[in-house]
A and B are shown apart, each in its own frame.
Chain A
């Protein structure tokens, strides 16, 4: 289903955007999808932007109090590229503060799942997933550091695409962990992902880590299940996943089980690297050039910025404390440098068997928990939710999350991971999958 193409072909009734904005306003209050809705939208294909991606002249806060009132003087490269191609900004979407979370509840307005508002929408790109799940003609520009696209896409029943690191410029992204952060997309179909990728990838001189690459529709018939990941999946999810794998097998895919012992280190390695980088990225928020303003200039600088930094949420503070510790001279080689080495080893191992296969797993090890449950999780329980989605960010590899089942009316997703620059192979896989599996949507705002 090509929503973008269909929308552009269809005649829009007059007042289409006003009606859309009106309906959206109501649902937004219910689910908390947007931090900011752009009332000026009057043409183009509606696109939402995760609130950690800068848009010139539009408040961009990454859902953090410390950035309240920050209006960037420039737009992210990916936004400039898409605006030139006929996409218009519908608003800035809700998220876990700075991307710190797997459920979308580390925000002033906790996000709610459109399939069951007592449950989480997933995070950190919570609003992006909700917007995609409730709007028929819409795409979301989102961002992932360790599963922040896949997790909410899976909980909200939409397609989530996390490309190869470097394909989409990060210029204009408010960093969480620069060596892991990837800008990607959510949509209602894989075909729309293909359209978006075609219009947004490529080298950007403003982002040194961005690259040019020729993307082929790699086709692979072998799907690998990693034992170490499979063994940690919740049993409801496991039986749903087994059924999906059976379907794929009868459709001609060769399924193999493989052991990658190194992958057990993914979570600690991921959190060490991401916290080390995050704690330096957050250092710039000192409350006197942008965002939150501390008016009392009579204090010394140390007291001044300490007061400003009280505005950080709990998880942000945790990452600053742990990240700063990890970077300390006395433990750097024990944690940070060792983590970089293991990251390299995991990447080498993954590369070797991704040569002739894709990796398949459920996207999340559990079904979307209730907001109450999620709020009672310990930090370690929270971090373990990223088990299945972290490897693709650690290695910089592309992955796609596709709705694959509905358990008690709640969406469940599968995740396919490919090798570097095999992005279009994953999109092709999604396009094939969508020929035999129809996605359910509870809302179709903006239908024509």
Chain B
């Protein structure tokens, strides 16, 4: 199996690629528009340098050679969402050429990275079609890979690595990601156009793998064709397009001069979350996967992790545990509250909203002055007042964890301490 991708992602700029219209989501359709993004006669494009700058960062992050002088082309075709009936995009003068992404056991080559304009949005109603040009001219990059992906696992890994790398440059791949998926099990390439989002992409590839596999098993070859993905049924269907190579009649965009990118500064730190996770895991003897999951799409978590490990005296595994709480409770966990939070964890207290509130208000965990007697009394009190707890424990001994946490919370006793005594006392109740 060979899979290649053309991934389209919107770039986080304030204005569109060739005009000054806002890229913000608008309440009303056709409000962020002007003669340029509507393709009115007489209008001309002016290049948004910030879009080029971000595309340059992406190219560098994906190990591409950066074209110092970029140029644009017109890709001509007729479709109602395309206001000029040509899209301004890139070919030979693309910003990035010949990169790669290394996966755990393979490498996916990046053929090129190009900058282009998004068409308008088509809204299909039963009897008519509506067009919203707010999207027309939003800057996109298209990342074109070689057909180097050979399994669903690799596809999944590729997408998550790509997403993380782009995340650290400020590009959100899942927001409006559209991809064309080229997939071939046999002799002919099948292209599945315009699949949106990572989940659909994986589902589409799974269905298509199965479909082509069955055709080959029956002794035939899948046809060379374009298909589309239907989200509701998780299947692909033939688009019934002519089986010829598409003819876009490319010419240079004569309204844009060649543009030198050498003056554009790459501000974003380009790095790979996998590499950072590996370094941290090795240095502090922590679990690589846990770290990667925490930081792959969370810049704050990475900073907090580094802060906790480098700037505090906390034990590394406590820092990591505190950060897992951050995953659940978000921004309430910050540099200030990290040490406090770790203190609760160290005492074995289960972290919940109330604890987080205490941490936010700077309240440290209560001093450990609870006598053994008081612990036993508390347990006794709870069990005698809630016979149903005992009954549930009889049926399922695992309920003990729940009982411990309930008592811990209710009487303010660390879970560890409750746990030490609970079984002895429970034994009396289930004679």
Residues of A within 8 A of B46 (CB): 205-208
Interface residue? A336 (CB, 8 A): yes
Asked if A284 is at the interface of the complex by the 8 Å CB criterion, the answer is yes
How many residues of chain A get a CB closer than 8 Å to chain B's CBs?
47
Chain A residues, CB < 8 A from B249 = 279-280, 324, 327-329, 332
B38 touches A289 (CB 8 A): yes
**B247 to A329, Cβ gap below 8 A?**
yes
Residues of chain A within 8 A (CB-CB) of B85 are 280, 283-284, 286
Residues from chain A with a CB closer than 8 A to the CB of B39 are: 284, 289
- Name the B residues within 8 Å of A208 (CB-CB): 44-47, 255-257
Q: What 0/1 readout, one digit per residue, does chain B (32-51) give for beta carbons within 8 Å of chain A? A: 00010011111111110000
Residues 49-79 of B at the A interface (beta carbon under 8 Å): 74, 76, 78-79
Contact A172 B76 (CB under 8 A): no
The answer to whether B83 touches A329 (Cβ under 8 A) is no
Inter-chain contact A336/B78, CB cutoff 8 Å: no
Closest B-chain residue to A61, C-beta based?
B41
Q: CB of A277 within 8 A of chain B?
A: yes
Task: State in angstroms the CA–CA spacing of A53 and B373 once bound together.
Answer: 94
Residue of B nearest to A178 (CB): B254
Binding site secondary structure of chain B: loop
Q: Return A279 CB to nearest CB of chain B, in Å.
A: 8
Report the count of interface residues on B (CB-CB < 8 A).
31
A301 close to B78 (CB less than 8 A): yes
Residues of A near B153 (CB, < 8 A) are none
Q: Is the CB of B41 within 8 A of A301?
A: no
Contact, CB under 8 Å: A283 / B42: no
Residue in B35, B42, B44 with the greatest tally of chain A CB atoms within 10 Å: B42
- Cβ of B83 and Cβ of A289 under 8 Å apart? yes
B251, CB-defined interface residue at 8 Å: yes
Q: Which of A69-77, A156-164, A214-222, A353-361 contacts B (4 or more CB under 8 A)?
A: A69-77
Residue of B nearest to A211 (CB): B257
| Interface Cβ pair total, 8 Å cutoff | 104
A54 at interface, CB cutoff 8 A: yes
Residues of A within 8 A of B251 (CB): 276-277, 280, 327, 336
**Contact indicator A283/B76 (Cβ below 8 Å):** yes
Query: Does residue A428 face the partner (Cβ distance < 8 Å to B)?
Result: no
Which residues of B lie under 8 Å from residue A72 when comparing CB positions? 35, 40-42
- Give min CB distance, A321 to chain B, whole Å: 12
Convert A59-73 into 0s and 1s, putting 1 for each residue whose CB lies closer than 8 angstroms to a CB of B.
Answer: 010100001001011
**Which residues of A have CB within 8 Å of B257?**
208-209
Q: How far is the CA of A267 from the CA of B322 in the complex (A)?
A: 75
A154 CB to closest chain B CB (Å) equals: 27
Assess the B47–A172 pair: CB atoms within 8 A.
no
The reply to whether A171 and B42 form a contact with Cβ atoms under 8 Å apart is yes
Bound complex: CA A289 to CA B84 (Å): 11
A339-362 vs B, CB cutoff 8 Å, 1 = contact: the mask equals 010000000000000000000000
* Chain B min CB distance to A312 (Å): 14
The answer to whether B255 touches A172 (Cβ under 8 A) is no
Q: How far is the CB of A27 from chain B (nearest CB, A)?
A: 29
Q: Report if A305 contacts B (CB, 8 A).
A: yes
A377 at interface, CB cutoff 8 A? no
Given A207-B44, A280-B251, A73 and B35 contact (CB-CB distance below 8 Å): yes
Q: Is A253 an interface residue (CB 8 A)?
A: no
Given contacts A280-B76, A280-B86, contact A332 B250 (CB under 8 A): yes
Tell me which of A54, A277, A291, A301 contacts B42 (CB under 8 A): A54
Closest-CB distance, B355 to chain A (whole angstroms): 56
Within the assembled complex, what's the spacing in Å between the Cα atoms of A276 and B73?
Answer: 12
Residue of B nearest to A305 (CB): B78
In the bound complex, CA of A173 to CA of B42 (Å): 5
- Give complex CA distance A70, B40 in Å: 10
Chain B proximity of A61: nearest CB distance (Å)? 10
- Residues of the B chain whose Cβ atoms lie less than 8 Å from the Cβ of A283: 76, 78, 84-86
Binary interface profile of A, 261-292, with partner B (CB < 8 Å = 1, else 0)? Answer: 00000000000000011011001111011110
Q: Which residue of chain A is the closest to B74 with respect to CB atoms? A: A280
Q: For B41, list chain A residues within 8 Å (CB).
A: 54, 60, 62, 67, 70, 72, 174-175, 284-285, 290-291
Q: CB of B125 within 8 A of chain A? A: no
> Bound complex: CA of A301 vs CA of B79, how far in Å?
7
A178 engages B255 (CB within 8 Å): yes
Which of chain B's residues have a CB closer than 8 A to the CB of A74? 35, 42-43
Chain B contacts of A53 at CB under 8 A?
42
Interface residues as binary, A289-316 with B (CB distance below 8 Å gives 1, 0 otherwise): 1110000010001100100000000000
Distance, CA A332 to CA B42, complexed state (A): 27
The residue in B40, B44, B84 that gathers the most chain A C-beta atoms within 10 A of its C-beta is B44
Q: How far is the CB of B69 from chain A (nearest CB, A)?
A: 14
Give the complex CA separation of A316 and B40 in angstroms: 19
B368 within 8 A of A: no
Given contacts A280-B76, A327-B250, contact A76 B42 (CB under 8 A): yes
Cβ distance B382 to chain A, nearest Cβ, rounded Å: 72
How many whole Å from B131's CB to the nearest CB in chain A? 9
Contact mask for chain B residues 250-269; partner A; CB cutoff 8 A; 1 contact, 0 none:
11101111000000000000
Give the chain A neighbours of B256 by CB distance below 8 A: 208-209
Q: How far is the CB of A121 from chain B (nearest CB, A)?
A: 24
Which B residues are in CB contact (< 8 Å) with A138?
none
Q: How far is the CA of A72 from the CA of B38 in the complex (A)?
A: 12
Q: Is A179 an interface residue (CB 8 A)?
A: yes
Q: Report B233-245 CB contacts with A as 1/0, cut-off 8 Å.
A: 0000000000001
Q: Which of A323-337 contact B (CB under 8 A)?
A: 324, 327-329, 332, 336
Q: How far is the CB of B252 from chain A (nearest CB, A)?
A: 8
Q: Report how far A150 CA is from B257 CA in the complex, Å.
A: 27
- Tell me the complex Cα distance, A325–B209, Å: 38
Minimum CB distance partner of B133 in chain A: A289
Residue ID in chain B nearest A327 by CB atoms: B249
Q: Nearest residue in A to B77 (C-beta to C-beta)?
A: A283
A266–B80 Cα gap in the complex (Å)?
37
Q: How far is the CB of B137 from chain A (nearest CB, A)?
A: 14
In the complex, A284 Cα to B251 Cα: how many Å? 16
Neighbour of B254 across the interface among A62, A173, A277, A297, CB < 8 A: A277
Cα distance A87–B313 in the bound complex, in angstroms = 77
Smallest CB–CB gap between A86 and chain B, Å?
24
Residues 152-188 of A, flagged 1 when their CB comes within 8 A of B and 0 if not, give: 0000000000000000001111110111000000000
Give chain B nearest CB distance to A205 CB in angstroms: 6
Inter-chain CA distance A277–B85, complex, in Å, is: 13
What are 24 A-B interface contacts by the 8 Å CB criterion?
A62-B41, A72-B40, A73-B35, A73-B40, A171-B44, A173-B42, A179-B252, A205-B46, A208-B256, A277-B251, A279-B249, A280-B76, A280-B86, A283-B86, A284-B83, A284-B84, A284-B86, A289-B38, A290-B41, A297-B128, A327-B250, A327-B251, A328-B249, A336-B251
Q: A179-B252, A283-B86 known; 20 other A-B pairs, CB under 8 Å?
A: A72-B41, A73-B35, A170-B44, A175-B41, A175-B255, A206-B44, A207-B255, A208-B45, A208-B255, A209-B256, A280-B85, A283-B78, A289-B38, A289-B40, A289-B83, A290-B41, A301-B80, A327-B249, A329-B249, A332-B250
* B interface list, Cβ under 8 A from A: 35, 38-47, 74, 76, 78-80, 83-86, 128, 245, 247, 249-252, 254-257
The residues of A with any CB-CB pair to B shorter than 8 Å are 53-54, 60, 62, 67, 70, 72-74, 76, 170-175, 177-179, 205-209, 276-277, 279-280, 283-286, 288-291, 297, 301-302, 305, 324, 327-329, 332, 336, 340
Per CB-CB distance, the 4 closest pairs between chain A and chain B, nearest first, are: A327-B249, A283-B85, A178-B254, A179-B254
